[in-house]
Amino acid sequence: MTDATQSDTVFRPKPSLPPPANTVGAVGWLRKNLFGGPIDTIMTLLGLYIIYQIVAFAIDYGIVNAIWSADTYRECLDRNRGEGACWAGIAVWFNSMMYGRYPDEEQWRVNLGGIVLLLWLIPFWLPKITGKIQIGMSAVLTFPFLGAAMFIGGEFGLFLQVMASIALTLFVAVWLHVASTYLSGRSLPDLLVSITGFANKDDRLHKYVLLGAFGVGFVLSMIYLGSWELVEVPTTIWGGLFLTLVISGIGIASALPNGILLALGRRSKMPVIRVFCTAFIELFRSVPLITILFMAVTMMPLFLPVEFNPPKLAMVIVAVCIFAAAYMAETVRGGLQAVNKGQYEAAQAMGLNFWKMMALIVMPQALKLMIPNIVGSFMGLMKDTTLVSIIGLYDILLMGKAAGQNPSWLGFHTEPLLFTAMFFFVLCFAMSKYSQHLERTIGGGYGRR
């Protein structure tokens, strides 16, 4: 055996041939995905034809033949004989569809309220911020009062003033917290404690510093709120997208806490609580929302004392909250059931009591599992809010309908509907994409079932 003979017999493969040209690249992709066989080809051609028809119609109707400025619907019809959209009308009615009959010179209040809420929630997307749950809770629990004070205005009572002051204080605190985190690298409580010189004192004293700071902020807010002189805008003239967002916003914000309580009640070992929660959930889940809304506006005045006459909006919000809570309860219950029993037992073995077990061990897992369903029910609620138009609240849908009843815009129905549909589509589509993103990021590790 010599080296020479060995090297002669080593097997040297020829370089492999490239794959056939029609299975790779663009041609291969087309053959594989579009023209796989005769039936596939027919389907593809049919699909192309459908797409062509839809796109051609949309361009014709929405752009080529559309009228972008006109004073009356008649004018639009005269110019394009109804073959194109009359977007001019949307421009004319845009303000109404956004704010309803909220007075023009007061609309800055609605905008400001929206901006405050957005600012309040921005820290959620800032990576360095600590205490996001507290920030979220503060916004959900107190913003409605600040919003009510701003949107209704007029002489608000002591209760609303106190709650709105708390909200304002917390809002300022959130942004001071953000500023201190990014400027000094410390959270607001730490910063306050070290500024006041309590840093090296007993830890138990720290909370008094925070309470004191909150008290100062609260008093300042009370004084500031007392100086407000806002014209009163009764809820009866609220409308448009603003009203839709108020109702669905409160519904969404209340759904999760109420739903969690109801779900826990339904799974409770105490029979009385379980029976009441189950009955509540089953009753309100099995009837359509419209019947609950009718019930609210026809029966609630009967249920309450005569001197107590709540505005229609309040009754509708109560109905929407009940409905949302019942649906959310079932979603949360699904999540609770999906959490492994070992997790409960492990938590109990660690000596956690019921609420700590739920808050620290079970709920985080259950809610993570249920993110798609929770966002799904938020989307559903958002869409269902349009039903308030049936009982005569001027939400975005009814405002659009009202546009078509105005003498100079008689018959202007399709475009407001299309506009509203596009609006809901963008909103809900964005929400569902965001939920998929959440599922990938914070829901990771729990697998998709």
Partner 1 sequence: MAVVDKAGPRKDARSFSEIVNDERYRSVFYQVIVAIAVIWTANYLITNTAENLEARGMSAGFGFLGSTAGFSIAWSIIDYAPGDTYLDVYLVGIANTLIVSFFAIIATTFLGFIVGVMRLSKNFLVSKLASAFVEVMRNVPLLLHIIFWFTLSAALPSPRDKENQIALFDSVFLNNRGLYVPAPVPGEGFQFVVIMALVGIVAAYAVAVWATKRQFATGQKFPAFWTGVGLIVGLPLATFVALGAPLTFDYPSLQGFNFRGGADVPRAFCALLFALVLYHTVFMAEAVRAGILSVSHGQTEASYSLGLKPSWTLRLVVIPQAMRAVVPPMISNWMNVVKNSSLAIAIGYPDLVAVFMQTSLNQSGHAIEIVAMVMLFYMTVSLTISAALNYYNKIVQIKER
Q: Which residues bind partner 1 (CB under 8 A)?
A: 33-34, 36, 40, 43-44, 47-48, 50-51, 269-273, 276, 282-283, 285-288, 290-291, 294-295, 298-299, 301-306, 379, 383-384, 386-387, 389-390, 397, 401, 413-414, 417-418, 420-421, 424-425, 428-429, 432
Q: Residue 229 in contact with residue 302, Cβ under 8 Å?
A: no
Q: Which is nearer to partner 1, 140 or 397 (CB)?
A: 397
Between residues 48 and 64, which has the closer beta carbon with respect to partner 1?
48
**In whole angstroms, how close is the CB of 6 to partner 1 at the nearest point?**
44
Please identify, using beta-carbon distances, which residue of 433 and 440 lies nearer to partner 1: 433
Compare residues 290 and 313 and give the one whose CB is closer to partner 1. 290
d(CA 139, CA 120): 7
CB of 169 to partner 1, least distance (A): 32
| CB nearer to partner 1: pick between 195 and 417 | 417
**Would you tell me how many other CB atoms lie within 10 Å of the CB of residue 185?**
10
Residues facing 240 on adjacent strands: 395
Amino acid letter, 407: P
How near is the Cβ of 406 to partner 1 at its closest, in Å?
16
Nearest approach, Cβ of 345 to partner 1 (angstroms)?
A: 16
Q: Residue 335: which of 361, 380, 368 has the closest Cα?
A: 368
Give the Å distances, CA to CA, from 137 to 131, 143, 210, 211, 355.
Answer: 10, 10, 18, 18, 17
Residue pair 378/427 in contact by the 8 Å Cβ criterion: no
CB of 270 to partner 1, least distance (A): 5
Cα 259 from Cα 324, distance rounded (Å)? 8
For partner 1, the closer CB: 18 or 271: 271
C-alpha separations of 80 from 62, 73, 93, 119, 355 in Å: 12, 11, 20, 44, 65
Cα separation, 122 vs 252, whole angstroms: 18
Shortest Cβ 261–partner 1 spacing (Å) = 12
Q: 414-441 vs 371-384: helix axis angle to the nearest 10? A: 170
413 by Cβ neighbours in 10 Å (0-12 / 13-18 / 19+) ranks as middle
CB of 288 to partner 1, least distance (A): 4
Cβ proximity to partner 1: between 41 and 111 the closer is: 41
Euclidean distance between CA atoms 80 and 61, whole angstroms? 10
